[in-house]
Amino acid sequence: NPSASAYHPIDDACWKRGDKTPYSAFARTLELIEETSGRLKTIEILSNYFRSVIVLSPADLLPSVYLCLNQLAPAYEGIEFGVADQNLMKAVAQCTGRTLAQIKADVQEVGDLGIVAENSRSNQRTMFQPPPLTVSNVYSKLKEIAQMTGPTSLTKKLDKIQTLFVACRNAEAKYFIRSLAGKLRIGLAEQSVLQALALACAMTPPEQDYPPEILNASKKMSSDRFKEKYDEIALTLKTTYCECPNYNLIIPVLLEDGIKALPSKCKLTPGIPLKPMLAHPTKGVQEVLTRFEGLKFTCEWKYDGERAQIHVADNGQVNIYSRNQENNTTKYPDIIKRFKNTRGDQVKNCILDCEAVAWDREKKQILPFQILSTRKRKDANEEDIKVQVCVFMFDLLYLNDEPLVKETFAKRRELLKEHFKEVEGEWKFANSLDTTTMEEVEVFLDESVKGNCEGLMVKTLEKEATYEIAKRSRNWLKLKKDYLDGLGDTLDVVVIGGYIGKGKRTGTYGGFLLACYDQENEEYQSICKIGTGFKEEELENYTKFFKDHVIPQVKSYYRFDSSHEPDHWFEPIQVWEIKCADISLSPVHRAAIGIVDPEKGLSLRFPRFIRIREDKSCEQATSAQDVADMYNNQEQIKNKTSASKTAE
Ligand code: ATP
């Protein structure tokens, strides 16, 4: 594999300038990534591919980025692949002259329809080889397939899939089918794609004309200077993407005007959901007071519902987005209809940050999250809605053409209250208290729990009080009543394996292996086994669910000890919220290995299942660094560390 500096985007590419990027070049890149384990190496391989695209066929950069993220459009457009495995198997069978039964048997054995598709194709002789596939063509056809609806759409989809599939050569078949199935299985996270793009822009600035003379920015610079430049580009790209997570807007600006133009051209915009600010866990009022010493702050109730970013665009269109930038507008027709009740006359456009909470109209009280989660997720009819919601507004991020994220929270809150109003049972401002005394915070915390809230969010008001997009910021602290004595928070972990149950649990899984996500190395690290906290019925449901996600071989990016090997491995597909007594060093688990101790990992003691986190993807699970921070923040560990410091 060529290294970034040695790679030549023209000479080392397999296509010529002005030609369309062959899909084979893309598939080969994914194959190299799949064969590689280091994160830096992966980024380098991808950036080399991007560099060739930038120089040879820049129009293919956008489809290339989408294809390697396995997306077709920004999340909020809701365009998903979603072709059921059964149908894909049928298509593969028909195109390769094999029977559905043969394909199914192979998938059972190999565990991956992509590989079966590739093998089936390579064993097949074709009379006429259709012309080679291109990246742009595959992308646009995939998009057409995803957007087909209606009664005959399945037949039409299968026709299109088959036309493309017969044109696939070698590894193309594998990745084409995996794309359609909705999982590329190469462990390439969003952040790595962004970094690869940044590296490509640093090496081969996309706005330049190529050639004058070629083409390797780092060669002309000292390595320190290059690193500085790369860091600057990576930061600009990341910040832009957080404010405006839409490659349809970012990539054209990159190509036309270069990275420097991004901050002015791709800004916070109503109608484009931004990545929200998140809070740091704390374990007690004292910790909050210590962190915020000398700063003005406010305490707000922490409502247990669903985050709702409400956008009003210039054309008056109102949209509601989730914590993960999905479009929830059709889930909440009731909120949309009532928006006029809270919106002041002066509001032309805006972005509000809120929590939608299940609400008992008769008793005028907040209902638990579990009730909210029974609402239909999409296309709800207002007449059919049984669970009412009240929206608690806590921040205003944009108002009348002005972004407010750089303003203080005190100012944003003032503008929020000036331009929106409360309506009984529909719209409320988050209940808040500006105080600095421990006693008052404690009383307010108690009240929040009695009011069916999770605890408090404590936020800086004036200094260090901007809205930090996409950050888990120390300017927002969460204080959850339940966990004050323990860890300060629950953990959100990924289910990576299952142990077959015995005795009463025969026929279902009796336990599961859980993992945190290490962002640094992009791997899932085992953190504990869990077998308690489930009702029998739940175990049956989870068994059914995970049986569809069993993989025959453990992923190269799962870290675990062979003594804890589960009976079945699963795709990383679901996040569970877990409560535990504490976190301890472990000779067998691998969470945060190398952070707290060079050889030992961390594990959770007495883990209990709380709920599924539908709103989190596996890469958003609690990170290895978060687990290490929670471990170090435990009283007994803090005491030990300070005792050993004193001894030194
Ligand atoms: P969890 O929800 O499990 O605590 P998380 O990672 O989803 O974890 P946190 O950073 O812990 O999010 O908490 C912030 C969440 O709390 C927000 O995403 C929002 O949905 C919710 N929330 C409820 N009340 C408030 C409030 N007053 N201010 C800010 N966020 C609030």
- DSSP state letters, 586-603: ESS--BTTTTSSSS-EEE
pLDDT digits (tens, 9 = 90+) for 512-548: 999 999 988 888 999 999 987 788 888 899 999 999 8
- The arithmetic mean of pLDDT across residues 115-141, rounded, is 87
pLDDT the model gives residue 221: 64
> ∠ CA 420-423-424 to the nearest 5 degrees?
155
Inform me whether the pLDDT recorded for 3 exceeds 60.
Answer: no
Go through 170-180 and write b for each residue having 16 or more CB atoms within 10 A of its CB, e for each that does not.
Answer: ebbbbbbbbbb
Inform me whether the pLDDT recorded for 400 exceeds 50.
Answer: yes
Any ligand 1 atom below 6 A from CB of 478: yes
Residue 4: band (very low, low, confident or very high) from pLDDT cuts 50, 70, 90: low
Residue 222: band (very low, low, confident or very high) from pLDDT cuts 50, 70, 90: confident
> For residue 584, what is the enclosing H or E element?
strand 582-586
Inform me whether the pLDDT recorded for 53 exceeds 90.
Answer: yes
Residue 487: band (very low, low, confident or very high) from pLDDT cuts 50, 70, 90: low
- Whose alpha carbon is nearest atom 18 of ligand 1? 307
Active site residues: 302
> For residue 644, what is the enclosing H or E element?
helix 635-647
Query: Which of 278, 298, 392, 576 for a ligand 1 pocket mutation test, highest count of atoms within 8 Å of Cβ?
Result: 278
Any ligand 1 atom below 6 A from CB of 631: no
Inform me whether the pLDDT recorded for 290 exceeds 60.
Answer: yes
Any ligand 1 atom below 6 A from CB of 367: no
What residue ranges in 371-506 does DSSP mark as E strands? 389-399, 402-403, 427-429, 432-434, 455-460, 472-480, 491-500
Inform me whether the pLDDT recorded for 483 exceeds 70.
Answer: no
pLDDT the model gives residue 538: 87
pLDDT the model gives residue 127: 67
Q: Which atom of ligand 1 is nearest to the CA of 300?
A: 27
Q: Which of 496, 625, 610 is nearest to 564 (CA)?
A: 496
- Whose alpha carbon is nearest atom 7 of ligand 1? 278
Residue with tokens 């009348």: 400
Structure tokens at 145: 């397939």
pLDDT digits (tens, 9 = 90+) for 162-173: 999 999 998 999
Any ligand 1 atom below 6 A from CB of 243: no
Rounded distance from Cα 84 to ligand 1 centre (Å): 34
Rounded distance from Cα 496 to ligand 1 centre (Å): 26
Inform me whether the pLDDT recorded for 365 exceeds 90.
Answer: yes
- Whose alpha carbon is nearest atom 16 of ligand 1? 302
CB count in 10 Å sphere of residue 212: 7
> ∠ CA 66-397-330 to the nearest 5 degrees?
60
Q: Which atom of ligand 1 is nearest to the CA of 616?
A: 7
pLDDT the model gives residue 85: 86
pLDDT the model gives residue 154: 87
Choice among 179-183, 234-238, 363-367 with the minimum mean pLDDT: 179-183
- Whose alpha carbon is nearest atom 26 of ligand 1? 302
- At how many degrees (to 10) do helices 61-69 and 247-257 cross? 140
Q: Which of 283, 280, 279 is nearest to 488 (CA)?
A: 283
pLDDT digits (tens, 9 = 90+) for 65-109: 999 999 999 989 988 876 888 899 999 999 898 999 999 999 888
Residue 5: band (very low, low, confident or very high) from pLDDT cuts 50, 70, 90: low
The C-alpha atoms of residue 616 and residue 618 are separated, in whole angstroms, by 7
Query: Which of 352, 355, 623 for a ligand 1 pocket mutation test, highest count of atoms within 8 Å of Cβ?
Result: 355
Inform me whether the pLDDT recorded for 137 exceeds 90.
Answer: yes
Alpha carbon 217 to its chain centroid, in Å, reads: 32
C-beta of residue 304 within 8 angstroms of C-beta of residue 478: no
- Whose alpha carbon is nearest atom 25 of ligand 1? 302
* Burial class of 20 by CB neighbour count within 10 A (0 to 12, 13 to 18, 19+): middle
- Whose alpha carbon is nearest atom 20 of ligand 1? 307
Inform me whether the pLDDT recorded for 2 exceeds 50.
Answer: no
Any ligand 1 atom below 6 A from CB of 172: no
- The arithmetic mean of pLDDT across residues 252-261, rounded, is 95
Q: What is the DSSP string of 430-465?
A: PPEEE---HHHHHHHHHHHHHTT--EEEEEE-STT-
pLDDT the model gives residue 110: 85
For CA atoms 559, 564, 568, 570, give the dihedral sign: negative
Any ligand 1 atom below 6 A from CB of 372: no
Rounded distance from Cα 524 to ligand 1 centre (Å): 24
Any ligand 1 atom below 6 A from CB of 430: yes
Structure tokens at 173: 């078949």
Q: Which atom of ligand 1 is nearest to the CA of 276?
A: 18
Average pLDDT, the chain: 90
**Percent residues over pLDDT 90 in the chain:** 66
Inform me whether the pLDDT recorded for 643 exceeds 60.
Answer: no
Residue 183: band (very low, low, confident or very high) from pLDDT cuts 50, 70, 90: confident
The C-alpha atoms of residue 72 and residue 247 are separated, in whole angstroms, by 10
Any ligand 1 atom below 6 A from CB of 278: yes
Q: Are strands 306-312 and 402-403 parallel, antiparallel or unpaired?
A: unpaired
Rounded distance from Cα 584 to ligand 1 centre (Å): 26
The C-alpha atoms of residue 590 and residue 580 are separated, in whole angstroms, by 17
Rounded distance from Cα 73 to ligand 1 centre (Å): 27
C-beta of residue 60 within 8 angstroms of C-beta of residue 21: yes
Inform me whether the pLDDT recorded for 211 exceeds 70.
Answer: no
Any ligand 1 atom below 6 A from CB of 277: no
Residue 640: band (very low, low, confident or very high) from pLDDT cuts 50, 70, 90: low
Any ligand 1 atom below 6 A from CB of 394: yes
Residue 581: band (very low, low, confident or very high) from pLDDT cuts 50, 70, 90: confident
pLDDT digits (tens, 9 = 90+) for 567-579: 999 999 999 999 8
- pTM score, whole prediction: 0.79
Any ligand 1 atom below 6 A from CB of 321: no
Query: Which of 306, 307, 310 for a ligand 1 pocket mutation test, highest count of atoms within 8 Å of Cβ?
Result: 307
pLDDT the model gives residue 456: 96
Rounded distance from Cα 492 to ligand 1 centre (Å): 13
3-class state of residue 507 by DSSP? coil
C-beta of residue 538 within 8 angstroms of C-beta of residue 529: no
Rounded distance from Cα 454 to ligand 1 centre (Å): 9
Q: Which atom of ligand 1 is nearest to the CA of 301?
A: 27
Any ligand 1 atom below 6 A from CB of 307: yes
pLDDT digits (tens, 9 = 90+) for 294-329: 899 999 999 999 999 999 999 999 999 999 999 999
Rounded distance from Cα 550 to ligand 1 centre (Å): 32
At residue 388, φ and ψ (nearest 5 deg) are -80, 150
Any ligand 1 atom below 6 A from CB of 300: yes
Any ligand 1 atom below 6 A from CB of 471: no
- The arithmetic mean of pLDDT across residues 20-40, rounded, is 92
Any ligand 1 atom below 6 A from CB of 302: yes
The C-alpha atoms of residue 501 and residue 217 are separated, in whole angstroms, by 58
- The arithmetic mean of pLDDT across residues 444-449, rounded, is 90
Inform me whether the pLDDT recorded for 204 exceeds 50.
Answer: yes
Q: Which atom of ligand 1 is nearest to the CA of 280?
A: 10
Inform me whether the pLDDT recorded for 30 exceeds 70.
Answer: yes
3-class state of residue 9 by DSSP? coil
Q: What is the DSSP string of 299-352?
A: EEEE--SEEEEEEE-TT--EEEE-TTS-B-GGG-HHHHHHHHHHB-TT-SSEEE
Q: Which atom of ligand 1 is nearest to the CA of 615?
A: 7
